[in-house]
Amino acid sequence: MTSETAQAEAEPQAATDIVPPLLRMSNVEVAYDKVFLAIKGVSLELNTGGMVALLGSNGAGKSTTLKTISGLLAPERGAVNRGSVELRGRDILPLPPPARVHLGIVHVLEGRHVFGHLTPDENLLAAFPTRGRRERLDELREQVYTYFPRLRERSRTKAGYLSGGEQQMLAIGRALMTEPNLLMLDEPSLGLAPMLVEEIFGIIREINKQQDVGILLVEQNAAAALEIVSDAYLLENGHVVMSGKADVLKQNPDVQEFYLGGTGKVDYHNVKHYRRRKRWLA
Amino acid sequence: MDIAYFIELLINGALTGMMYGLAALGIVLIYKSSGVPNLAQGAMVMLGAYFAWIAAAQWGIPLPFAIALAVVGMFLFGLFTERFLLRRMVGQPIIMIVMLTLGLEILLRGLGPGLFGAAPKSLDIGIGLAPIIIGDVFINRSYLVGAIVGVIMIGLALLFFRTRLGTKLRAVSDDHVASWSVGISVERAIAISWGLAGASAVAAGVMWGSVQGIDWTLSLLLFPAVAVVILGGLDSIYGVLVAGLIVGILGSVIPGYVDPIVGGGTRDVVTSLIILLTIIFRPHGIFGREDIERV
């Protein structure tokens, strides 16, 4: 009797230990053209249904990190030198990009990359598996149009003629057609008006909540990103230099200085020197 | 001016044009999904005709089945070409890929007669030789059947690009990386388009082969086919239809009046002029897409 209860108590504990996180990236190093090191030992974790931001300046290695996970390094002659990327404990590095999509990883590329000569309807259709059921297609398409009603109005215009915001919506909607467990978004706010950024971020949060999709958000707009995510990683020169809860990071003076536009009390005379001293060079 | 002569040139030209379209379709199929202009299509037409001839005349298989077998054979030929030649060229400059297809064309032109014998083979597909006569106008029965096959194939291609698979192929031609990112296998899509181009080459090969016999000269169809796709737009199926008609009619009416004066050979001049003028004045062709620039 006592042993039984002890077992019952132990089980959930053991379960949380055994169940691996949705995504675990450990110590990954990626080089382009075998020469240029873009990320130098990045580790990160994302739980099922979690929402994590990857912040950093230009060239910090944010996009490379996403491409490592989605497998889109090869077209740019990038390769993983060491480290591992696991989806629910399964090593995904040997898989080609389409196989990773079937496992539930989808990557919304920077700069939207909609199929410009296809209508939004066709863009969504193209992302749906060829052998999927017709009813499922209609359901998913309906869902996308519910998230983004504006797309429904323009569903018969060529996507190349949509506005930047509409294209971004279409890129996210298209990714949802693959029914992902992990949705990776690369700079969804790029080139969009602040109002639109707010709208799109609101929808991203909704997708995360309603569908239990893990979201990995790459952003230069750190202020907006930290508002919606629970955790964040800070990348600098290919290294993770800081990570933690979004609320904590928001209070960090260095983060405020570099990513949130400062506190307003900067001594401009010393700014260059200060920046140089504070950069996390390896 | 003899009006019946003119109408005859017009109609037979239009019918020939549809048969050019048949040969041109394969080029569009491949370009539309991978952005590669396939200059080996002429030799693929020749090979398709040889395949059908082997199955029908050598193995004695009834014609419909022989053609079906040739379609399967050419589909596989297309798949293998993509797998072993084109896939190695991913990421190479487009000029290298064009040269590769041109090399393949020349290789096959040489191999065809080498393997199957240089003498023209006849392929009888049961179309009578007697022309159809309407009033004073003589219409070539083979051309008529070929044109009907051409229109059917163009219609099938149009329908195909509306299916799920066809939509994915169009997506691939728009953006390879984006296609990968949403789970479309770019390699497989391109392989399928080569396979379909091979299959459509059989239709062209059989129709032309029944008209002029099967030998290496079938691959010379590459020339009018290229004129059709350049005029119609490399990625437009409608373009094949319309440009096929134009190339066919101009290539029939103009030589019909000029050849007797200059002693022949005008058709090739007309075809080359179409290519040159299109490239100078409308590089995208009539229906070819221009890249969308949003302001």
Residues in chain A: 282
Say whether residue A263 is in contact with chain B using an 8 A CB cutoff: no
Is 50 exceeded by the pLDDT of residue A6? no
- Taking CA–CA distances from B32, the nearest residue in chain A reads A117
User: Structure tokens of A22?
Assistant: 């949705």
Asked if B177 lies within 8 A of A98 by C-beta distance, the reply is no
Using a CB-CB cut-off of 8 Å, the residues of chain B touching A154 are none
Give domain status of residue B73, yes or no.
yes
Q: Is B182 on the interface with A (CB under 8 A)?
A: yes
Find the mean pLDDT for residues B251-273: 90
Q: Which helix (H) or strand (E) holds B148?
A: helix B141-160
Instruction: Report, as an integer, the average pLDDT of B201-217.
Output: 91
Q: What is the domain count for chain A?
A: 1
Determine, yes or no, domain membership for A1: no
The structure tokens listed for B92 are 């190479």
Q: What mean pLDDT comes out for the span A95-110?
A: 94
Report the range of poorest mean pLDDT among A233-237, A276-280, B251-255.
Answer: A276-280
Strand order in the sheet with A90-91: A36-46, A23-32, A78-87, A90-91
A7 domain residue, yes or no? no
pLDDT at B292: 59
Q: Report yes or no: A221 and A228 within 8 Å, Cβ to Cβ.
A: no
The answer to whether A178 contacts chain B (CB < 8 Å) is: yes
- How far apart (Å, rounded) are the C-alpha atoms in residues A147 and A203? 7
Which of B263 and A18 is assigned the larger pLDDT? Answer: B263
The first and second tokens of residue B213, run together, are 């016999």
Chain B residue nearest residue A180, CA to CA: B182
Higher per-residue confidence, B21 vs B87: B21
The answer to the question of residue A156 being in a domain is: yes
Residue of chain B nearest A97, judged by CA positions: B180
Best residue of B161, B163, B165, B181 to probe chain A, by most A CBs closer than 10 Å: B181
B2 found inside a domain: no
Residues 158-177 of A with CB under 8 A from B: 158, 160-161, 174-175, 177
* Predicted confidence band of residue A11 (pLDDT cuts 50, 70, 90): very low
- Using a CB-CB distance cutoff of 8 angstroms, which residues of chain B are in contact with residue A32? none
> For chain B, how are helix, strand and coil distributed in percent, rounded to 5?
75, 5, 20
SS3 B165: helix
Tell me whether residues B178 and A128 touch, CB distance under 8 A. no
Q: pLDDT class for A278, splitting at 50, 70, 90?
A: low
Helix (H) or strand (E) holding A40: strand A36-46
Residue B139 lies in a domain: yes
pLDDT tens-digit map of B151-166: 999 999 999 999 999 9
Cα–Cα distance for residue pair B191/B199, rounded to 1 Å: 12
Highest mean pLDDT among A52-61, A250-259, B67-76, B89-98: B67-76
- In angstroms, the CA B258 to CA B254 distance is 6
Domain that holds residue B87: 18-219
Cβ of B177 under 8 Å from any chain A Cβ? yes
Q: Coil, strand or helix: which one is B213? A: coil
Cα B85 from Cα B194, distance rounded (Å): 11
Nearest to B59 by CA among B72, B46, B48, B70: B70
| Partner A, chain B 228-267, Cβ-Cβ below 8 Å | none
Q: Does A62 reside within a domain?
A: yes
Tokens of A82: 């060491």
Q: Helical H runs in chain A?
A: 2-18, 62-70, 97-103, 120-127, 134-147, 149-153, 164-176, 194-211, 222-228, 246-251, 253-258, 271-278
Please indicate whether, in this complex, the C-beta atoms of A113 and B176 are within 8 angstroms of each other. no
Position A200 in a domain: yes
B71 located within any domain = yes
Shortest Cα–Cα distance, A33 to chain B (Å): 14
% of chain B at pLDDT higher than 70:
97
Interface of B with A in 266-295 (CB under 8 A): 289, 291-292, 294
Say if the Cβ atoms of A101 and B176 lie within 8 Å: no
Contacts of B248 (CB under 8 A, 6+ apart): B13, B14, B15, B16, B17, B18, B19, B20
Residue A115 touches partner B, C-beta closer than 8 Å: yes
Does the distance separating the beta carbons of A128 and B164 come in below 8 Å? yes
Q: Report the pLDDT averaged over residues B185-190.
A: 90
Let me know if residue B234 belongs to a domain. no
pLDDT tens-digit map of A136-167? 999 999 999 999 999 999 988 999 999 999 99
**Residue B87 lies inside a defined structural domain of this protein:** yes
Report if residue A215 sits inside a domain: yes
Of the pLDDT bands very low, low, confident and very high (cuts 50, 70, 90), residue A5 is: very low
pLDDT-wise least confident of A112-116, A144-148, A274-278, B144-148: A274-278
Mean pLDDT calculated for residue range B226-238: 92
- Token pair in block for residue A85: 């990327």
pLDDT tens per residue across span B114-128: 888 888 888 888 777
Does the residue A14 lie in any domain?
A: no
For residue B246, tell me if it sits in a domain: no
pLDDT of residue B129: 76
Domain count, chain B: 1
**How far is the alpha carbon of A98 from chain B, nearest alpha carbon, in Å?**
4
pLDDT tens per residue across span B264-294 = 888 999 999 999 999 999 888 888 876 655 4
Distance from CA of B155 to the nearest CA of A (A): 20
Say which residue, B208 or A75, is predicted with more confidence.
B208
Work out the mean pLDDT of chain B and round it to a whole number.
Answer: 89
- Predicted confidence at residue B153, as pLDDT, reads 93
Q: Does B32 touch chain A (CB under 8 A)?
A: no
Which CATH number goes with the domain that contains A148? 3.40.50.300
| Residue at A13 is within a domain | no
pLDDT for the residue A1: 41
Count of alpha carbons within 13 Å of B62, Cβ hemisphere only? 2
CA–CA gap between residue B6 and residue B17 (Å, rounded): 16
Question: So what's the pLDDT on residue B169?
Answer: 92
In 3D space, the residue among A79, A75, A71 whose CA is nearest the CA of residue A38 turns out to be A79
Q: Nearest C-alpha of chain A: how many angstroms from B180?
A: 6
Report DSSP state, residue B240.
H
How many angstroms separate the CA atoms of A185 and B236, rounded? 34
* Residue B3 located in a structural domain: no
Q: Among B170, B180, B289, whose Cβ lies nearest the Cβ of A72?
A: B180
Q: From the CA of B94, how many Å to the nearest CA of chain A? A: 16
Q: Tell me, yes or no, if A67 comes closer than 8 A to chain B by beta carbon.
A: no
pLDDT level of residue A7 (50, 70, 90 thresholds): very low
Question: Which residue range is the domain that position A106 belongs to?
Answer: 20-278
* Interchain pair B182, A126: CB under 8 A: yes
